[in-house]
Chains A and B, each alone.
Chain A
Amino acid sequence: MLKKIFALLLLVFLQSSWAFAHDIFGFPRHRGVEPLVDKKYESSCGECHFAYQPGLLPSRSWAKMMRPEQLEDHFGENAELAEKERLYILKFLTENGADKTWHYKRSVKINQSIPENVTPLRITETPYIKKKHMEIPRRMIQDNKKVRGLSYCNKCHTEAVSKGQFSRTNVDIPNFRNWDDLID
């Protein structure tokens, strides 16, 4: 009996230390970015494009993007918010930025690829995301009426919205179903 309990305890210990080691040594436990959902965030930032998960940019990027003067000229559009909403979204985004969600692989990769003195406003400008899409030709992105730009992740990454997954195995480029054969 005692032996059994001991074995069980050992098992529990090993398991948790495995998870612990993952966290400590920087092996992220999850594959995508954290699929956070927040109603207020969706209704404030999800009406012109899908609501990008906070784990796609470091907190300092979100903090910059959420400044009132930045929202007034948000990539040429107006994304202004009432002050109360703005502060709420600012908090939500900066508390869950890519630098804070180190148990998610994509967030870690995105964050690590950005030099410390740089504060990108675009996910598509971060070195990791840029590199991952280097081989995709323009006709599949900008010149593809159903995609329009690399910014619209969810047009190709079918599980981007629901699961925060951005793996190449779940890509379906509209008008180019056989993209995998066309890109080498």
Chain B
Amino acid sequence: MYKMMLFAVMLLGTSAVQAGDGTVIDEVLAGYQAEGVGSFSAEHGKEMWIAKHEGPLGLDGNPSGEAFKIRRDDEPRSRSCQTCHGTDLSLPGKHWRTGKLINPMSPKAKPVEVDEDDGPRFSDKAKIEKWFLRNCKWTVGRECTGQEKGDLLSFLRNQ
């Protein structure tokens, strides 16, 4: 019995380690392929990562106009993934508006903000999809396609 428990613990241990080594990305990519995407291009992923998009300046169309007198002079003229994640993927990024630190996007880099329930990079499928949805819509102005998301992940995983 004791041995079995030990074994179970060991299994759990290895699967936790695996979560950070790209198995989740593989699953996500396989999912896009099941939806009809062919092969992925890290090269195109990189282009997408640095591409600049016209952003609607002054997004004050929100319901609380008056209290919106916050610091807006940092608002970027154009938007890209680098607006928050920065140009060096091994370094932490910073949410352009709130200033909150974002852990480096590179799976190899050491996280700076250690949040106990935040696993390593790209270790939770739902989290990846949640942020693709939010960030593509904010940055590009629309949802990204499976092809695009796969290309982006193929680029990011090797940084």
Which residues from 143 to 160 on chain A have a C-beta closer than 8 Å to any C-beta of chain B? Answer: 143, 148-152
| Contact with A121, one of B59, B64, B129, B138 (Cβ below 8 angstroms) | B64
Segment of A8-16, A76-84, A93-101, A161-169 in the binding face: A76-84
Q: Contact: B70 with A82, CB < 8 Å? A: no
Closest to A50 in B: B100
Interface size on A, residues (CB 8 A): 30
| Contact with B126, one of A47, A77, A82, A143 (Cβ below 8 angstroms) | A82
Q: Contact: A148 with B64, CB < 8 Å? A: no
User: Which residues of chain B have C-beta atoms less than 8 A from A77's C-beta?
Assistant: 97, 134, 138
Given the interface pairs A82-B126, A142-B71, A143-B71, the reply to whether A120 lies near B134 with Cβ below 8 Å is no
Which residues from 97 to 120 on chain B have a C-beta closer than 8 Å to any C-beta of chain A? Answer: 97-100, 117-118
| Contact with A152, one of B98, B117, B134 (Cβ below 8 angstroms) | B98
Q: Contact: B67 with A82, CB < 8 Å? A: no
Closest to A46 in B: B115
Q: Contact: B67 with A78, CB < 8 Å? A: no
Given the interface pairs A48-B95, A48-B98, A79-B134, the reply to whether A73 lies near B126 with Cβ below 8 Å is no
Chain A CB within 8 A of B127 CB: yes
User: Which residues of chain A have C-beta atoms less than 8 A from B70's C-beta?
Assistant: 142, 148-151
CA A12 – CA B126 in complex, angstroms?
50
Q: Contact: B138 with A78, CB < 8 Å? A: yes
Top 7 closest pairs, chain A to chain B, by CB? A76-B59, A78-B134, A149-B70, A78-B138, A125-B67, A142-B71, A49-B98
Known: A39-B117, A81-B130, A121-B63. 7 other contacts (CB 8 A): A73-B59, A75-B64, A76-B62, A78-B135, A80-B137, A148-B70, A148-B98
Which A residues are closer than 8 A to B by beta carbons?
39, 42-44, 47-49, 72-73, 75-82, 85, 120-122, 124-125, 142-143, 148-152
